[in-house]
Every structure is written in C-alpha cells, then in structure tokens.
Amino acid sequence: MSYRMFTVDEPSEADEAAVTAAHDRVRAAANPMTVPAGPERQAAQREWDAAWRALDFADVSYFGMSDGQMRATRSAMGNLGMLTLQEAPAWPILPTLPRASRFVRTVRWLLGYGKETAAEQLDAETFETAWAEAAWRAVTEHEAQPVTGVPLHKLSGQDGWWVTPAQIGAALSAYDAASDQDRQKFGGTLPWFGRWIGWLRTAQHRGGFRVQ
C-alpha cells in the first residue's frame, strides 16, 4: 500500500516545465552500473543520485510515501504536536457502487431521444450519484474547529481526504515551535522528513492536498 498526495491547485506551466527538465536530467544521467569501476563510476553515481533528488524536489504538486514511510511520518508528526485526534464525520450510507457522474451524463446524452425509459433511469441515477459525491465531499473535506493540526485520520487512509491549508498551517506552527532537539529526535532520522516539511509549506499555499 502506498500514499499519494496531490495539491488541490493544479501545477502551473512553470511547475510542469521544471518537472520536464528534471526528467530530462534523469534520462541523461548514466546508470552507474553501466560505467566501469573507478572514478568515472563514482562521478556517475553522484550525478545519478543528484538527478533523482532534483526530480523529487521538482514535482511540487505531488508527494508519495510507502505505507511504512507514512507510519513513521505520522509518528514523527504526532511527537512534534502536528497531529490532532479529531474524529471524522460518520460516513453516510451511499448508493451501491455509484457510477461516476461524468459517465452517467455521457450515457444519458448518447441515449438521446426515443429511449425515455432508460433515460429516466439514468436521470434518477444522475441525481443519486451527485448526492453520493456531495456526501463524500462533506466527509473528506470536513474541517473541525478549532483547527490545531492535521487530523490523524486524514493521513491514515486513501479515501481522498482533503488536508486543508488551515490544518497544514497549524501543523507547521507546531513544527516551527518545537525545539531543534525534538525536530532532530523525531524527524531527523527519516531521510524524507525534511522534504515533507518543505512540501507541506508549498501545499499550504496551493489549496492544501488530497490523500489517495
């Protein structure tokens, strides 16, 4: 299982250009295993590592973690006071396997006239699906007050949770208020944690992010 986080705001043209350039650098870098042993391989390894690190930092609209990485991240954030234990709203009883509203609308349009019975059924399904999607948003976008950090449940599942700018801001305030000793103790041992904090600072100003 893995976690994929995407900023709510779409990447800009400049963002996409930076990602393209980073991909080009990775493609241009020689795989160290194809280079003869010695100084040349060492130089190739340094460039290979640098190219992949640059790619990680270039894509500011996305951050990915394995399940193990997310568990460690949650632990570090919890110890630094960045998380809250606010409960999520109860999930509503949704229609059985509702189809995406875009798909339903497309089929409805393709039926056209002369298919009134099927069209009426799709009209009903369109309403039902729209209701289901609205109910899903009400749960995943819930922001309990007062906002004191990122709710733990929003980093514990892949249901499309929206981590809001206010929640990110509160979490970062807790991180910034922590001592250097605590930041090093709880996050310093995680190679990706510094980049995660930097990404949170970016996501805060890009509409927050969704967890999938």
**In which region does residue 79 sit, left (phi positive, over 0), alpha (psi from -120 to 50) or beta (all else)?**
alpha
Identify the pLDDT of residue 6: 95
For residue 25, pLDDT over 80 is answered with yes
**Domain segments of the chain as ranges:** 10-62, 65-88+142-212, 101-138
- Helix ranges, the chain (H): 13-28, 39-58, 67-79, 101-111, 116-140, 165-177, 180-186, 193-204
Identify the pLDDT of residue 162: 96
3-state DSSP call for residue 159?
Answer: coil
β-pairing, 209-211 vs 161-163, is: antiparallel
* Model confidence pLDDT, tens digit, residues 134-187: 777 888 888 989 999 999 999 999 889 999 999 999 999 999 999 999 999 999
Peptide bond into 146 cis (omega under 30): yes
167 token code pair: 């929640």
* Model confidence pLDDT, tens digit, residues 181-205: 999 999 999 999 999 999 999 999 9
Residues 6 or more apart in contact with residue 160 via CB below 8 angstroms: 136, 140, 210, 211, 212
Please indicate, yes or no, whether the overall pTM of this predicted structure exceeds 0.95.
Answer: no
